[in-house]
Amino acid sequence: MQFFRVVPLGVLVGMILGCGTSSDGISSLKEGKPLANASGSDPLDEDKPFVLGDLVPPFDPPSLEQLEEQVAAGGGWVDRPVLDSLKLLRERQAQEPLLASVKEALALRNDSEEDNAKILSALGRLPKDDGDVNYAAQITRATPQALNKQNPLLASSTTEFEVSSLTGFGLFGFDWNFTPYASSDAVTSWRTSKDGLYDKVIMRDDLLWSDGTPITAHDIEFSFKVIMSEMVPVPAQRTGTDAIKCVKAYDNRTLVFFHNEALETNVWNVNFSIIPKHVYENSIAEDPTLSDSDYHVQLEESPVTGGSYEVVKRNQVEILLKRRESAYMFDGKQVRDKPFFETVRLKIMRESSSRLLGLMAGDIDEMMLTPQQWDAQTNSEDFYKRCTKVRGLVWTTFSFQWNANTPFFADPKVRQAMTLAFDHEEMLRVHRKGLDQPCTGTYHPSSRWYPGSGNAVGLRIEPVKQNLEKAKQLLDEAGWVDTDGDGYRDKEINGRRRKFQFTIVMTNLPERIALCELLAENLDLVGVECNVKPLESATLQDKTQKKQFDAAFGGWGTGADPDTSENIWGSGQARNFVNYKNPLVDELFEEGRKLPEARKLWKDLGVWKDPELRAYLEIDPQIAEAKPTREDCYAAIHAVLWRDQPYTWLFCRSAFEGLSKRLRGYNFSPRGIMGYGPGFGSIWVPQTD
């Protein structure tokens, strides 16, 4: 069974800026645009009647026959993958050589790349057959907060996303390569029209909500309308979803998504959180908040869910989820894989040190280790008695972020100087314990959209090395010089002499504070005073969203699609906290979204028209008449950003996992061992244990 393997695409971009104590430090929010709406929306008119789906522009969908005719005229349907992600993983593993036996792997100490690969290879395997699995097993994980909302539409904290990934129903998912698919657990067929304007999905007829009512196409249509209703306070859910023109259920199983434009990103837009129509259709008009009325409060206590688990107990100490039988049984027969765990226990633990103690004592089965814990606290006999550890590359990048709206960082030269003044080697070797890779820009070097990895952008980006003399020179060129001999640079701005003195903000976690102190120490040497101000995570999030900071230290997880970073770099976008503005980048994002045939030619793009920039990007002049691929567009964005240095990119964080020796089946994706398909769904406990 794989409902739980379908990762809600609501969890696209992980933001790390503000969430210090979560297990992975990533709070998952949907893309950023709506955040601006959330903070700046007009007060709603209380007397206005509730209209379901009032944000959807009027559109009268054709009948199914008319639609079929239209699509046939436009070239017909194209089949899209309908997959079982466990099967997919099993097929992958069948191709991979087994590097060690389970026994060997359990006896290994993870001291080298080789041992890491061996442990992952042996313990990451799926069970050979059902007989191997202990289906009565419980897994205990740590989570940073208590559960406030169970409704997947209202989820906003790490814990809520975690719970809704276990209890929520979804049609789509993506694998470790970020290839999107429809889940065969929920869907029998998925087809896209040749012109890219329609997606047609046929759902299975053996799907049940936890109250026994069938899950139908009407639930998906209803959920779309709910998300697109102004009075429903779920602005974060609307990003992407708002690019859909209409969702129409033609019968219980047939569902068609109508798109405004043929975009590469439509495959992600069709994936939104789903709630049961029969439960909410009569109550939503009375209480569009979905949480205030008595009925909704009651529902929050015992919700109707569609995922493979349901919450049976929740308090300030833990959240207990049990396997839901009706998720894999239908008419007395097993119709889907049975989830591997009978119970999932999420213990609320904030401190990573107490989590580690819990892991070693057997109180929890899995946790994300800090580099310091990986390096110094998990090498003892004591640790290896019950646990083992693995690491993998994830596309989570950390950076110093320079607010271009301040008098200091508007000039790219200053930002370049900051990057050059920082001691990257000390950071990687001492602060990151030599366990992380240097980060060289917004996309990960192993992704297809990184310059030089098989795309038209030839620029080779090398990690930066500290160069104080160059940094001083750039600051001089930018007009920042020490005129009063106090050891700090200054510059006349609007008739006033201003000292180069700014504050950097970060979450108050020791390792982050220490890294910013290293920056302050380095900048002092080039005559720049940097104050380090740790903030509590909620305050930090608030300050960054309101752009009330000079510089910030933080990071971003990866979305499944490169387009998701538009809200970080697009002019005026909600997560563009640093006020980076570049029409060339905006244009490239727009082009990257389009289907290949709709894209502009290279020679018509802004980056091509600037000969200096073209030379910098090292694009072959021969391809002027060709159209850029998606990868080309994002690689060019990456390179332009690297030139402008709106961030000082620091390191790509490896994921360090501490795991109980009884667990099997964990595999890394660029989003860690959980946030993809199958992710958590592939983890199991052997029978013998």
Partner 1 sequence: MIVEREVMANETAINAPRAIGFWSEAWSRFRRQRLAMTALIFVLFLALIAIFSPAIVGTKPLICRYKDHLYFPAMGYFYEAWENPIFKADGIKNSYPNMKKNDPESWAVWPLLYQDPLRRVKDGEWAGVSGNVRNKSPNRLNLFGTNAWGQDVFAKMVHGTRIALLIGFVSTGIAAVIGIVVGAAAGFFGGWIDWLLSRAIEIMMCIPVLIVMLALISIIEEPTIWHLMVVIGVFGWTGIARLTRAEFLKLKQLEYVTAAKALGFRWPRLIFRHILPNALAPIIVPITFGIAAAILIESTLGFLGIGNPDKTSWGRLLSEGKENLQMWWLIVFPGAAIFLTVLAYNLIGEGIQQSTDPTLKASKH
Which stretches of the chain bind partner 1, using CB under 8 A? 352-353, 357, 370, 372, 375-377, 380, 426, 430-431, 433, 468-469, 482, 485-487, 503, 508, 510-511, 513-514, 517-518, 521, 524-525, 527, 531-536, 539
Region of 35 (left: φ > 0; alpha: ψ -120 to 50; beta: rest) is alpha
Q: Given the complex with partner 1, which of 231 and 535 has the nearer CB atom?
A: 535
Least distance (Å) between residue 619 CB and partner 1? 39
Q: How far apart, in whole angstroms, are the C-alpha atoms of residue 582 and residue 571?
A: 7
Least distance (Å) between residue 473 CB and partner 1? 13
For the chain, the residue count is: 689
Region of 621 (left: φ > 0; alpha: ψ -120 to 50; beta: rest) is alpha
Q: How far apart, in whole angstroms, are the C-alpha atoms of residue 461 and residue 453?
A: 11
Least distance (Å) between residue 538 CB and partner 1? 11
Q: What are phi and psi of 216, to 5 degrees?
A: -125, 175
3-state secondary structure 474-516: HHHHCCCECCCCCCCCEEEECCEEEECEEEEEEECCHHHHHHH
Q: How far apart, in whole angstroms, are the C-alpha atoms of residue 617 and residue 681?
A: 42
- H/E element holding 371? helix 371-372
Q: Given the complex with partner 1, which of 518 and 639 has the nearer CB atom?
A: 518
Q: Given the complex with partner 1, which of 264 and 511 has the nearer CB atom?
A: 511
Q: Given the complex with partner 1, which of 72 and 525 has the nearer CB atom?
A: 525
Q: What are phi and psi of 91, to 5 degrees?
A: -65, -40
Least distance (Å) between residue 110 CB and partner 1? 18
Q: How far apart, in whole angstroms, are the C-alpha atoms of residue 122 and residue 124?
A: 6
Structure token digits, residue 575: 């997560």
Q: Given the complex with partner 1, which of 426 and 610 has the nearer CB atom?
A: 426
Least distance (Å) between residue 353 CB and partner 1? 5
Closest CA to 661 of 388, 257, 366: 388
Least distance (Å) between residue 375 CB and partner 1? 7
Q: Given the complex with partner 1, which of 150 and 522 has the nearer CB atom?
A: 522
Q: Given the complex with partner 1, which of 200 and 489 has the nearer CB atom?
A: 489
Least distance (Å) between residue 247 CB and partner 1? 45
Least distance (Å) between residue 482 CB and partner 1? 7
Q: Are strands 501-507 and 529-535 parallel, antiparallel or unpaired?
A: parallel
Scored b (16 or more CB within 10 A) or e, 444-453 reads: bbebbbbbbe
Q: Given the complex with partner 1, which of 127 and 534 has the nearer CB atom?
A: 534
- H/E element holding 524? helix 510-525
Q: How far apart, in whole angstroms, are the C-alpha atoms of residue 173 and residue 181?
A: 6
Least distance (Å) between residue 111 CB and partner 1? 16
Q: Given the complex with partner 1, which of 21 and 156 has the nearer CB atom?
A: 21
N- to C-terminal Cα separation, the chain: 23
Least distance (Å) between residue 137 CB and partner 1? 30
Q: Given the complex with partner 1, which of 172 and 422 has the nearer CB atom?
A: 422
Q: Given the complex with partner 1, which of 49 and 487 has the nearer CB atom?
A: 487
Scored b (16 or more CB within 10 A) or e, 389-421 reads: bbbbbbbbbbbbbbbbebebbebbbbbbbbbbb
Least distance (Å) between residue 509 CB and partner 1? 8
**Neighbouring residues of 519: CB distance < 8 A, sequence distance ≥ 6:** 400, 422, 504, 530, 532, 553
Alpha helices by DSSP H, listed for 228-276, are: 235-238, 266-269
